[in-house]
Structure 1
């Protein structure tokens, strides 16, 4: 059973057994004696202790773990023995000869505040990437000017990348081993102002060349493969950062702008209240959308930074789980609101009225026209579902649409009737019928002219629920009808005519209702007799010359003619 001791090393508490403590104490005392007459010895000792504490933390699996003799020996092997180094002014000319670790050092990303212009991000990236800081600054400026991303990326790196303050962190930034020799050397550089001189020493390059020449072909091939894998990994990291950052900016601007405008009731955004059946404020939906879509892209950005920055500090489990909880709550909230919104259109209800039309002067020829509304010039832009916002003569806001269709049918008696069916959606059949009943639609009679409104209105409280109106005019047999051009875009599909004239072209001719309920053309040209849909896919013509059929598609062209000469069939293949 070993006795344990609590020690404070670089302001970090460690549990260490007594035997390991005694060895570490002797080691630190020997180092202190070695640097007794060295300028800046206090700073050297502080940096050495900080590096030892960092190495102990890397080897500990949890905070309660006890440091044993094994960990102390491993740390001493990395740091080196004091007697292994020339502790004098010739330290820059003599290389260590002891058992210090020869393991290649991996660079860590820090902000170099010693050479900074703003935050030291670019000068830190110079050490990490090997690219001159001037070019890195130019790249950031170009991205900031043309895309805005350079500014955001610089701010994020400034926040997330730690500053190289201690000597060991500066050695890590340069990729140099953090041992006694290098710590003393860096401290001496600060005191003697020889940083530029030491920076140009190429001993490490020479050593790398010697090492590389002794490598086997397999090792070299392995290094090349690993190099390409690292390049691919860095590219993926940059791509994830670009996607995450740009998406976050777009989502934030979009959601934040809509939410803020809604909170201040900017004109034009009130229309969304007429679409929203949940009565949830737009700003609240914007916040939920910001969390639901923004948090995944934030983690995407964070993953890219983790790939690029090997020593990036973790945001912590508390933040991670808090963001996960916010994301789940936001997704659930939007899902519930979406279901409620969809359920508001689950049912379609109708109300129908049918009336007899009276004509004071009798009816010879019925003139049908569509009457436009004075509200048309007062319609607000930004309609949804075919509806817009308009104002009546009192200044009241109304929902307005021109989604009106009418058809002509045969009357079952000798009178003229009109049927108006109004449709609307709702969360239940009864709710839909109530909304349909609140639709305002009218028509007028002047002489023998039936003027139908080409629009309908309803109160804004009824919200947008696919409100529509269908009008059916029932005419006795032999009633003559003349359609005004204003009916061109409002004729329905159920009106039949004996010439198969397109419904949008019926206003060009006069019609009479026959006993079969089909509108008979009174003034159509003779060559239109029996003519059927002529379009880009061919035609079928039946007249006094016989039957002429031309069938076309994207692959074939087949023509069939039947007349007094017989049947003729011709295709592109024959």
Structure 2
């Protein structure tokens, strides 16, 4: 029979054998003595005691209620001793060297006699899949599989979430059967059913096994740009954090998946707040040696590098402005501080909105270019649709990506700047800023290399002219237009110019214009422009626009119409012609209000003449002859 003592470690009551308590007390005294010279030593000691409590709790199973001396020895073996890293004290030049005989003589007061054995060779036997009750979130199934495969439970939970939201797996049709059968399996439903079945059939384990080789994924708060996800992944996989961030940036450009993955990991991954969590993040065992190393890393001061001259010049206006604002705030007192806070928040909000708008634009452009959004067309230009085939035909992939990056990076910088204004701390590291600037310069270089190739596709211009005669037989010609502009098409509005000529029949001249690499290619593109008009009796109906969405490619196709009317041929211009009519009214001294279905017009040697306008201003000899000629016409008597 042994005497037991009740102790409180990290708020938990343990019953420990008397000889085990003596050993544990010496061990804790040594730890307190060694860490007492550190700042926030109480927090460090508390973190170590939390770890000791976890280990002791894992020993209390199968109705065991007392911590034995053997359990204390196992604890010391697992966590190590102060002697493992006593080099810091030995390096002190003022400390007197300890004689070996004196050290052996004072073994009773020696706190450094607990030495961790070099390795463990005990066989662990075979593993069984169980539900881990102590590390469960829902049932402990994912934690059990993680323990079986010696991985972080976060990965098994992430796989379970992905399976749960997966789609259907189709097995195809079986037309050879008497009935037509289509078989498909919902992966998400199957994963849910499988999880419930495993929850029922797997035995429960209340153990809390510790595998020193298992890394745990944490967000790293000591080296973060946004949430510390990339830095945590870099520590988990043992790679440079730069590569992890570049992978996320590349995935963002590959359809935006990087942003979604980053946000999911930000939500489900805990931050490494304590010292033990920082050690687990790097895959190390929670020993006193590792705790000491982690503390030293965090306590190392960051030497600020002297700013370059260029940076000083660049930041000088902003720093002067900051000094002025701070001076005003100090002069106004508490009210000034409140006003400055409001101004800071509003200023950050404005920058954030601008940055978000700039960021969304290239992402949307990439989604349209690669057909990632449901609509096949990009809506713009007053609800008209530009066929995406034009974009892919004109713009090469690398130019689109480089141009998107060149626009995206300033948008992201503005967003980060807005966040920095809100939190009053620069969250963009100098190294990351330099990398971002390098990527931006590279994208600008790619654009400079690719843009001339795009411009060369529009280098030459050609015009294809087509003329059609119009027989009127002295009838009054009515010119009107038909708005063929549809919401489902992309159109180019035509232009109409009406001129007079001294002889011959009325003619409609159609000048089709386009561009291309060569003149012959441009002429071919011009000939491919579709356009139709109708002439019924004496009513000419012109289509107001050309439907360009039927073309294979865009080469700035345009159409100019010239209607030539013989002198003294009466015609009427309907109001519907006003949107497309050019160089006809103003140069002859008329206004838009003069155009209607009642007014009749003719051309003579002096130009255009309105026969029925009330405020007629033209009184040349040719105009008088024209009025006399049609004085008895029906439209003059109205």
Q: Which has the higher strand share?
A: 1
TM-score by length of 1: 0.43
TM-score by length of 2: 0.40
